[in-house]
Amino acid sequence: MALHVVDHPLLRDILTRLRDRATPCDDFRILSNRISLLLVAEATRDIPTVAGTVETPLATADASRVAVRVVAVPVLRAGLGMLGAFLDLVPSAHVGYFGLERDETTAVARRYYEKVPKNLQDAVVFLLDPMLATGGSAAMAVEGLQGMGARRVRLVSIVAAPEGVRHLQACAQDVEIYTAALDRGLDERKYIVPGLGDFGDRLYGT
């Protein structure tokens, strides 16, 4: 399973501001959208395209069009902070949702909602979840998607912990991870360190 730690000076700048505890909720939303644009651009770099032509006002030009069904699946709640950017870049994408929530004491994820498009076999499925901590949530979502037939799944995250990467590698095959940072590890509450705190809380001001 491939791990892509995406590096770009703008991405590093945005991530720094997301990490900053002084960044207020409204800025946090804007920055989440902005960093997701850069990550999604990278995660879609090799999706299938078909060559053709297009008529400009002056002449015929070579064209390239996306030639695969793309499905985006944000994990509620925090993944919603990445969906707008995804749809800006891939407006034709179909969208599914997984509602997952970690138990505050055990950090074990529980699934409370699921609505995903059918016929995932031929689609490239992008799971959007900004935090890969223990990997429990991502593993549950990937398992769900593969159980529905998905063969090509990519996780787009913003911050990952080595523990989460290892867990996902151990229990889900053929999943590619795109992230802006591989952090040091988890603390005793299973939060990513240094991380950026609770993404959902910072995104929604809870």
Binding residues for ligand PRP, rule: CB under 6 A, are: 75-78, 100-102, 107, 109, 129-138, 164, 190, 199-200
For residue 62, the Cα-to-chain-centroid distance in whole angstroms is 31
Binding partner of 132, given ligand PRP, ligand URA, none, CB within 5-8 angstroms per partner class = ligand PRP
**Residue 129 binds: one of ligand PRP, ligand URA, none (C-beta under 5 to 8 A by kind):** ligand PRP
CB of 11 to ligand PRP, least distance (A): 19
Q: Report the residue count for the chain.
A: 206
Site string for ligand URA, 143-182 (x = CB under 6 A): ----------------------------------------
Of 43, 40, 82, nearest in space to 176 by CA: 43
Q: How many CB atoms lie within 10 A of CB 41?
A: 14
Q: CA–CA separation, 159 vs 35, rounded Å?
A: 11
Q: In 3D, which of 195, 172, 171, 173 has the Cα closest to residue 182?
A: 195
Question: Does 18 help bind ligand URA (rule: CB under 6 A)?
Answer: no
Residues contacting residue 56 through CB under 8 Å, at least 6 positions apart: none
Nearest distance, CB of residue 90 and ligand PRP, angstroms: 21
Catalytic residues: 102, 106, 198, 201
Burial of 8 (0-12, 13-18, 19+ CB in 10 A): middle
Instruction: Report yes or no: 132 and 148 within 8 Å, Cβ to Cβ.
Output: no
Q: Give 68 or 163: the residue with its C-beta nearer to ligand PRP.
A: 163
Our CB check for ligand URA shows the closer of 148 and 198 to be: 198
Which partner from the list ligand URA, ligand PRP, none does 195 bind, CB cut-off 5 to 8 Å by kind?
Answer: ligand URA
Kindly state the number of chain residues that form the binding site for ligand URA, as judged by CB under 6 A.
9
Binding site for ligand URA (CB under 6 A): 78, 131, 133, 191-192, 195, 198-200
